[in-house]
Chain A
Amino acid sequence: MIPLSWYLILSAALFSIGLYGVLARKNAIAILMGVELMLNAVNINLVAFWRYLDLKTVAGQAFALMVFAVAAAEVAVGLALIISVYRRRKTVAADELDLMKW
């Protein structure tokens, strides 16, 4: 029997690693990867809460499925934008994309 705390700590760690990736990485693709890790951490939590506390309803599972859909949409649009930016600016480094800064 695994207590719920194990899953919570694991997902907190995964979320923090993803957050570090989002904040620290230069490459825009790597930033998106960090976002994916964070979404996965959220999903682990949602499913774990469903399994441990809320077996009667399906709210946790349904929410996790929505996260899947959002993650897929986010990656499709995000990577399309990155490729589009790369075509125009020849770079995918997030800190070099500073057209809006002055």
Chain B
Amino acid sequence: MNFLADPITFIIEWLRNLLIGWGLSAGWVTFVMKLLGVAVVGSFGLVLVIFLIWLERKVAARFQQRLGPNRVGPWGLFQTFADVIKIFTKEHITPRGVDVVVYNLAPLISVGAVILLWAVIPFTPNAIGADLNVGVLYLVAVGALGTLAILMAGWSSNNKYALLGAFRTVAQMVSYEVPMVLALLIPVLLSDTMSVNGIVKAQSVIFLVVSPLAAFLFFISSLAEIGRTPFDLLEGESEIVAGYHIEYSGLKFGMFFVGEFLHAFTVSALFAILFLGGWRGWGVEQFPILGFVYFMLKTFAVYFVVMWFRTTLPRVRIDQMLDFNWKLLTPVGLILLVVTAILQKIILVSAVPLWVAVIVHLATSLLIGWATVQIIKARQARRPRRQPVAQPRPVARPPEATQA
């Protein structure tokens, strides 16, 4: 095995031989290797966040015609390190009346739930933590833990704003899980496997082209899952102060912050894997390490779009958020799933060439999307949207003025 072509496998093999050379049994070697893998992938994610925060601030600043952090280090690159050191030295405040165990557990689960997602992400063709045969289902399962963390934080803080934030979160996350699962099932149908690496391998034509509508649904619903603008009702600074993490200070707040950023990056990675072909690219067969480069490039491209959304769109209201999910995304997702399943079965039975299958799927996807837009337009023409105008408000008058 050549080091330059595939350094990850090379290092793994070298370590394995080293450990066997030390006289460990095969089971223990696997155990130690898995443990090291967990440590490496987890630390990689956490270190990445330091860079992501800088990137986000810089990109957001450019969108808003500012400069962003530019004092500490070149291009302000070390700004986040300064912030991290500051947050380390801050006081941990535990307010009176909180449920101490749950209160302290919530930030840990919030970060842990995100890092757990990285276990099934294939970085290169053969560098994957665990290639589960139910990988896609695992992604959904772990996503539920994030909801739990926020609910725990909101309840244990003993604060009405935190509780309101938690209620909103659950409404949002449980609702948007439905279209997300529906959209996740489309790559599963197209690739005939639930293993994440299998889905990447099946994308000789990337699924963004095969089923753009599914990609769209997945992107919107994962934006809602990570609670970013336009779906940041769970924090809503101007309405419920900060939502579920209002009572957290110091590093505990930092954990929520890290979890949020890492989650945004992780769903970008998932989008890149499920719809953009993950590590696929030119020359991956000879040099598997190139797969990592392609994967990161695609992920950062998606992450840029996420940041773009965040900096340009305003926050939606809670009724709009729920309407959008249950009256638009979920029905469209259901229709798309049923149609794709039938088409895929016909394609499998009739054994048509790949390009025909792609064109058929693409045409259906676009047709459903177009029909949805037409229906929405027709509905709006029938019942035009109420324009928000300032209503004359009753003015409070002293009692004698009204009697006279």
**Direct A–B contact present (CB less than 8 angstroms):** no
Residues in B lying within 8 Å of A, measured CB to CB: none
Residues in A lying within 8 Å of B, measured CB to CB: none
